[in-house]
Chain A
């Protein structure tokens, strides 16, 4: 076996894809070839580094919370389905309504997965003070739409990362048929509760979604971690 051939088969060797005979042949070459030993060692080191790359723990209670949210989100979707079907019976305005009835707000539930019940009309999302939480809004459009105006009105105690001090943000966009996802990194400025409003529409029709954003006091451990930076 020559160096070039051996180095072509390093991946196969480390992936355990070589036969015993091929391994013996490779070992024989490695015994007297420092360059190839070095090449194999480098590849082994890379694999080891990849395996050892750290993964931070999921947030506390994530597994249980995620399972509860899966159940809750399915209940929400099921509850909205008839509204969407009705909307298909109308014209453009009805279609637009259909396009936004399926809002999935990641974390419309409290920290333990419960759905807020204190306010009968609006869902509630809780975020921790000084922690950025990525909230996803999903627009399900029954057909592609052009020049749709999307506007957000943030409560005073919440900020959109990258837009300090901005409480109203609006822009035009196109929606394609199906899901269109908008991710908003929101952070709480002070412990308070307020209404977040999102509106989508054209000149002919619009639809508004409102939900409570509740900023809760962070735990001691979070404060300590930030203090150490």
Chain B
């Protein structure tokens, strides 16, 4: 462990630019991660994993002109990859247990958080999480976090017309879900 510790210190010294580069973006990444995942633990895990993956690419990051949107795009792809991996993963504790564990984790999100949530938000959140990953992330980025359509066409490599159609369908699904609740 001593050995690992000394390596960490050495690398940290070599890569001091990483912190300066990434620190201003972490709050926004966390917000976006929360919008995607719906809970603080997963949002923090998501951002943490992104940082771990990006750390060796510090030099490359410093040459990216618009780092904020680039990071958001990376977070989005990481979330989608993770979500699909979890859905398809052969690793599970036992039949049905994964669902139970996730539910427990959500309940433990914190009493303050629950007290602050109003009924409307609970209903809206519940409806949002009936949508598929793509629809939910699109609404999260555009309608909740304020990314514009031109920004999203670049971030998601999707033509404007396609994006508008998807967003329109996502909102229609959301409205249907809200009407049912």
Contact = CB atoms under 8 A, between A and B. Distances in A.
Interface of A: 11-12, 15, 17, 46-47, 49-56, 58-59, 62-64, 66-76, 78-79, 104, 106, 115-117, 119-123, 131-132, 134, 136, 139, 150, 161-162, 169, 171, 173-176, 179-183, 185, 225-226, 228-229
B113 interface: yes
Interface string B20-40: 001100110011001100001
B41 A134 contact: yes
Contact of B139 (A50, A123, A162): A50
A71 B34 contact: no
A185 B55 CA distance: 27
B30 A62 contact: yes
Contact of B121 (A47, A53, A104, A122): A53
Contacts of B5: 115, 117
Q: Which A-B residue pairs are the 3 nearest by beta carbons?
A: A70-B51, A75-B8, A63-B26
B111 A228 contact: yes
Contacts of A228: 111
Contacts of B89: 176, 180-181
Contacts of A139: 91
Secondary structure dominating the interface of A: mixed
B103 to A, nearest CB: 9
A12 B164 contact: yes
Given A54-B113, A79-B3, A180-B91, 12 more contacts: A11-B171, A53-B124, A54-B117, A62-B30, A62-B44, A67-B26, A74-B55, A120-B1, A122-B1, A134-B41, A173-B91, A225-B112
B7 interface: yes
B66 interface: no
A130 B86 CA distance: 27
Contact of B104 (A68, A119, A122, A132): A132
A80 to B, nearest CB: 9
Nearest to B16: A71
B74 interface: no
A161 B107 CA distance: 11
Given A49-B120, A173-B90, A185 B104 contact: yes
B43 interface: yes
Nearest to B123: A49
B164 A71 contact: no
19 contacts: A11-B164, A11-B168, A15-B149, A49-B124, A50-B124, A54-B113, A56-B40, A62-B26, A71-B12, A72-B8, A106-B45, A115-B5, A150-B91, A161-B108, A169-B93, A171-B93, A174-B90, A225-B112, A226-B111
Contacts of B156: none
B111 A225 contact: yes
A66 B144 contact: no
Contact of A66 (B26, B42, B56, B171): B26
Contacts of A173: 90-92
Contacts of B149: 15, 17
A35 B87 CA distance: 43
B125 interface: yes
A15 B164 contact: yes
A176 to B, nearest CB: 6
Interface in B67-107: 82, 85-86, 89-94, 97, 100-101, 104-105
A60 B144 CA distance: 24
A56 B33 CA distance: 12
